[in-house]
Structure 1
Amino acid sequence: MLVYLLLPLVLLLVASVWADHKTFVTPLYDAFDRALSHTAVAIAAHLERGQDGQLRLEKQEFGPPLHLPGTEPPPPPDDVFGDHDKPPEHFVARNGPAVWRRLFPGARDSFLYRISLPDGRTVVGDEGLPIAQDNSAIDFSFGDATYKQQALRIASYRTQVDGQPVIVTVGETVNRRTHAVRRLDTIIGLSDGIQLLLVLGLCLFGITVALRPINRLRERITHRQPQSLQPLPLEPVPSEVRPLVQSLNTLLVTVRDAAQAQQHFLTNAAHQLRTPLTGLKAQLEVLASETNDEAQQERIARLHGSVDRLAHTANQLLALARAEPSAHSPGDFTDVQLEALIGTVADAMLDRAIAREIDLGAECAPAHVRGVHWLLHELLINLVDNAIRHTPEGGRITLRCGLHGGAAYLEVEDSGPGIPPAERERVRERFYSTTGGGGQSSGLGLAIVEEIARGHHARFQILDALEGTGARMQVTFPPKAAQE
């Protein structure tokens, strides 16, 4: 939102500075022009016609015209004061006309003037000073000119002295104007810039205050359990965001209903699959007892093995579906003793380990986690089942649990061939199985472990065995889930 606000505000700042410049500079220039025109009127007021009929300036007020820096001052024309009527030295204005000094004491600009006739002849003053073009019906005309490599602002006043038309032209350098405009632009820029910063600060404050309810809603969603599909409360939500939250609640209800429907379907499907598979196994056993044909017995044994694999795959699919985070509610989470869980799983899998002459042992330290007991039981069963399938006869399997750095962990280590690092990510995929295991694996065991670990915010890692060859399957729970 600040990014979207910043660009329009910057453009508005530029437009405001430009508008303020136009608004204030034009009256400023007009004020300078009026002062320049007043000087021309003051000079014209001191024009008089002498006894010889020639126009001249009063001697006590004006001296020779000023000159620009670095140039030779022009001598005063003879027809101003006459050959024998030069003004005394103390009458000559060294820094400009007396009227100019009175109007602008300590001015930083140079001043020039010229009094001429309509035919262009100069009566007094700087003969090279250009005359502003008469582009209006009024007596004054203004213009810009460059004279002796200096920028000038000139004003020409057309009047009459004793019936004689004259043009009084005054000019000044533009140092004061430029300095004043620069100061004005600096003040305008600083003022508008401060206003922009204040507006951005107010916007930031307003956005921060306005987003507090949304931030609280975000925190509430972030700290929710993945399996929690309850609708979000609408009371603290701003009205602008309420339609979004209502749509999200509709989605959550839809997902919750779909998950419940899926669970009901899976439960019913599991019962429907187990019943015929159990009956099929019973019929195969009866058939095997009624025949003595070795070829027939071999076929029945292969069929019996296929039915067992089918039953195992069906159970694995059911376990995978029930391991989804949306399949269990927050009320299913309880305190689970990991050492007791290992003891239960070791007792359940001991017969299979003994049948393959595998040393099944445990190294347990007290550790508690917050989790779903039957899901963690299923996780450990799949890890031990996977280890038994891939450990050769006479090998060993060690179950471990404990705390490491405040985090509880479960480990199953075997002395099998291990899993190459290049395949450790692929074996987590569904229906992917390595060449080991005698072809009995459905490729779902580690996928179930990954899904259950994810539902408990735990991290599932496949590591090398601590000693010799083999694999070490480790599930590390977050520290907040451990209860020492």
Structure 2
Amino acid sequence: MSPGCAQNSAMRPRSAASEAWDIVSKTPSRAMSIAAQRKRAPSIRGRLVIYLLLPLVTLMVASIWADHRTFVTPMYDAFDRALARGAIAIAAHVQPAADGVLYLEMPEGTPAMHPPGAPPPGPGGQFQPHRPPPMHFEPAGQPMAWMRLYPESRDSFIYRVSLPSGQTLAGDEGLPMAQGGEVDSLRYSDATYKHLALRIVSYRTKVNNQAVIVTVGETVHRRDHVVHRLDTVIGLSDGIQLALVLGLCLFGITMALRPINRLRERITQRQPQSLQPLPLESVPSEVHSLVQSLNTLLLTVRDAALAQQHFLTNAAHQLRTPLTGLKSQLEVLASESGDQAQQERIARLQGSVDRLAHTANQLLALARAEPSTHSPGDFVIVPLEPLIGTVADSMLDRAIARDIDLGAECAPAQVRGVHWLLHELLINLLDNAIRHTPDGGRITLRCGLHDHIPYLEVEDSGPGIAPAERERVRERFYRAAGSDGQSSGLGLAIVEEIARSHHARFEILDALEGSGARMRVVFPGA
């Protein structure tokens, strides 16, 4: 019975690798354990942006408020002065009649008076200006004496000429007056009249030695419109400035963090087994102490790993010599003794010594499989087909002794790795399969490519491994339920360690046909 890849199809009919992978692709891989996601702390870039953005927004709000006060107050003063000129102009047209009674003389060209928003009356859509007859005052208590001061504006103008006693000489007698003030003084106030917001000014003067109060009111549409436009321009200007400043800050932050990003890339690109200290030449002073602490940690981990490896190596070597001598002495004792009971006891002792020697060898293999023991130069291109043939040849006698059908299904594939470690990986997988496969069973070794990704696989027809135990059997010295006690519990732990050092994924699956287990190692793509 030949274990070679090329001779297997003649030995017994088996499915081709491509057909096997059609079935494998439908088999769900083992559930990956997902750790609870912790809340990630914000990055330094995010912190800097937040710390810069909050003050900048505060400054922008303060700047908008200051600009509003700086520009709006003079603008209001300009509107108030225009309103005051209207009051003074009206006061100039208050004249005494022959009997001494004051009246308001309306000059030629006075704008038509009408309530705001009302359709213009009169033929042709033109207002007829209202003028009191000469030497007569305009009757008081007229409907709201509105006029448009600016034809293109939505604002309207209302006035009232009254005496200090409250008697209205002209205009709208309901218009409120600004309180206080002396003769020839102006007083401003805000008021609401007929559900309209007004800005009013009261001008106190004397006509023919009689005190007269001229009150002029104007709606605030034009003021509000100008303020709104001004605030919009100020807000847009400050917003653009904020965006530019923030963009410059982000650019500066990005440039300032480039050394830290290079340090991060240097760390992430390091090989997992590399425990050499990081260079400190180009490290910024802000993280210099952090890198120094990290170097101290790397040296501590390296020393601990080396101490552990040295201990395991020395212990395994120290055990192998006396165990070999003990085994030789037991063989001599067995050949010299003729007592059947004593022969059985010697056989049990030999079995125990063999298991102890096997455990020592596996401890040595486990120590040598640590990722920290290999340098990047140890990794070379290793073809998987010859590897399977070599391992199958070395284990063929054990398979024949138990009448196990040992075969191989190979396709060309190669991986980057350490040859003797991959040999040890396959030896442990095949040893585990032979131990758990009943007499007369079968074991198949496979290799090839699936979606351009190389894989290595050992399938047996044994009892298989329950899904609940597929994670625990990877632990050191763990024996699955139903084990006969002959195993040391290190075989699959060694496989897991070697796979990890090659950045590969070790999977435990069900057999493609019938009962059994399928151990698969999927290597990273080229």
Partner of 1:45: 92
Residues 128-139 of structure 1 aligned to structure 2 (within 5 Å)? 128-134=174-180, 139=185
Q: Partners in 2 of 1:63 and 1:206 — Cα distance?
A: 64
| Equivalent in the alignment of 1:469 | 515
Please state how far the C-alpha of 1:135 moved relative to its aligned partner: 6.8
Question: Map of 1:50-449 to 2, 5 A cutoff?
Answer: 50-60=97-107, 66-69=113-116, 81-82=134-135, 96=147, 101=149, 104-134=150-180, 139-289=185-335, 291-449=337-495
Which region of structure 1 is more displaced relative to structure 2, 37-46 or 18-27?
18-27
Deviations 1:15-37 (A, max 9, x none): 44334333332222222212212
1:332-376 deviation line (CA, Å, top 9, x unaligned): 222223223223322322222222222333333333221112211
Q: How many residues align?
A: 466
**Residue 78 of structure 2: which of 23, 26, 31 is its match?**
31
SS at match of 1:158: strand
Structure 2 counterpart of 1:60, which letter? P
Give the partner amino acid of 2:390: T
Distance 1:186 1:368, change over 3 A: same
Q: 1:22 aligns with which of 57, 69, 81?
A: 69
* SS of the residue 1:438 aligns to: coil
Residue 460 of structure 1 aligns with an amino acid whose one-letter code is: F
Write the distance in 1 (CA, Å) between the matches of 2:327 and 2:138: 143
- What is the identity percentage for the equivalent residue pairs of Structure 1 and Structure 2? 75
Q: Where does the alignment leave 5 or more consecutive residues of structure 2 unmatched?
A: 1-44, 122-126, 140-144
SS at match of 2:257: helix
Please tell me the residue identity of whatever aligns with 2:404.
Answer: I
The aligned amino acid for 1:27 is: P
- Give CA-to-partner distance per residue, 1:32-78, whole Å, 9 cap, x none: 212212222222233333443233334426869945337899x9897
Structure 2: how far apart are the matches of 1:408 and 1:471?
Answer: 20
Q: Is the 8 A contact 1:9 1:196 kept in 2?
A: yes
Confirm or deny: 8 A CA contact 1:77 1:124 kept in the other structure. Answer: no
Q: Look up the equivalent residue of 2:517 and give its one-letter code.
A: A
Q: 1:391-430: per-residue Cα shift (whole Å, max 9, x none)?
A: 1112222222233332222222222223344433332233
Give the counterpart letter for 1:35 in structure 2.
A
List per-residue Cα deviations over 1:150-206 (Å, max 9, x = no partner). Answer: 111111112223433222211011111111122122222222222233233333333
**Counterpart amino acid of residue 95 in structure 2:** E
AA aligned to 2:492 is: L
Comparing 113-122 with 2-11, which one deviates more in the overlay? 2-11
* Alpha carbons 1:389, 1:437 under 8 Å: kept: no
What amino acid is the match of 1:129? L
> Equivalents in 1 of 2:443, 2:71: separation in Å?
90
C-alpha displacement at 1:136, in angstroms? 9.1
Equivalents in 1 of 2:89, 2:338: separation in Å?
Answer: 143
Distance, in Å, in 2 between the alignment partners of 1:272 and 1:286 is 22
Alignment partners' CA distance in 1, 2:385 and 2:106: 120
Partner amino acid, structure 2, of 1:345: V
**Alpha carbons of structure 1 residues 48 and 153: separation in structure 2 relative to 1, 3 Å:** same
The residue number in structure 1 matching 2:21 is none
In 1, the alpha carbon distance for the partners of 2:209 and 2:293 equals 92
**1:90 is matched with which residue?**
none
User: Per the alignment, do residues 258 and 429 of structure 1 end up closer, same or farther by CA in structure 2, a change over 3 Å counting?
Assistant: closer
Report the alpha carbon displacement of residue 289 of structure 1 after superposing the two structures with TM: 4.6
Kept in 2: contact 1:396–1:414 (CA 8 A):
yes
Q: Structure 1 residues 420, 140: CA separation in 2 closer, same or farther (over 3 Å shift)? A: same
Task: Give 1:207 deviation, angstroms.
Answer: 3.2
CA RMSD of aligned residues (A): 3.3
Q: Structure 1 137/115 Cα, relative in aligned 2: closer, same or farther at 3 Å?
A: closer
After superposition, the Cα gap between the structure-2 partners of 1:136 and 1:86, relative to the gap in structure 1 and judged at 3 Å, is closer
Structure 1: gaps (5+ residues): 88-93
Question: Does the aligned pair in 1 maintain the 2:104–2:138 contact within 8 Å?
Answer: no
Q: Distance in 2 between matches of 1:344 and 1:212?
A: 50
The answer (yes or no) to whether the contact 1:389–1:438 under 8 Å persists in 2 is no
Q: Which moved more, 1:1-10 or 1:358-367?
A: 1-10
**Mean Cα deviation higher: 18-27 or 323-332:** 18-27
Q: CA deviation at 1:239?
A: 4.0
Structure 1 counterpart of 2:89, one-letter code:
A
TM-aligned CA deviation for residue 288 of structure 1: 4.0
Structure 1 residues 430 and 229: alpha-carbon distance in aligned structure 2, compared to 1, 3 A threshold: same
Q: 1:464 to 1:106 in 2, by over 3 A?
A: closer
Cα distance change, pair 253–86 in 1 and its aligned pair in 2 (3 A): closer
Distance apart, 1:277 and its partner CA: 2.9
On the 8 A contact 1:67/1:111 being kept in 2, the answer is no
Q: Report the AA paired with residue 96 of structure 2.
A: R
Instruction: Using the TM superposition, give the Cα deviation of residue 11 of structure 1 relative to its aligned residue in structure 2, in angstroms.
Output: 4.4
Structure 1 distance, partners of 2:182, 2:479, is 99
Q: C-alpha separation between the residues in 2 aligned to 1:355 and 1:148?
A: 114
Change (3 A) 1:59 1:461: closer
Whole-Å separation in 1 of the counterparts to 2:352 and 2:345: 11
Distance 1:333 1:359 in 2: 33
Specify the SS of the correspondent of 1:479: coil
1:10 to 1:264, Cα distance in 2 relative to 1, 3 A: same
Q: TM-score, normalised by structure 1?
A: 0.85
Letter in 2 for 1:332: D
CA contact (8 A) 1:417 1:470 kept: yes
Write the distance in 1 (CA, Å) between the matches of 2:314 and 2:475. Answer: 26
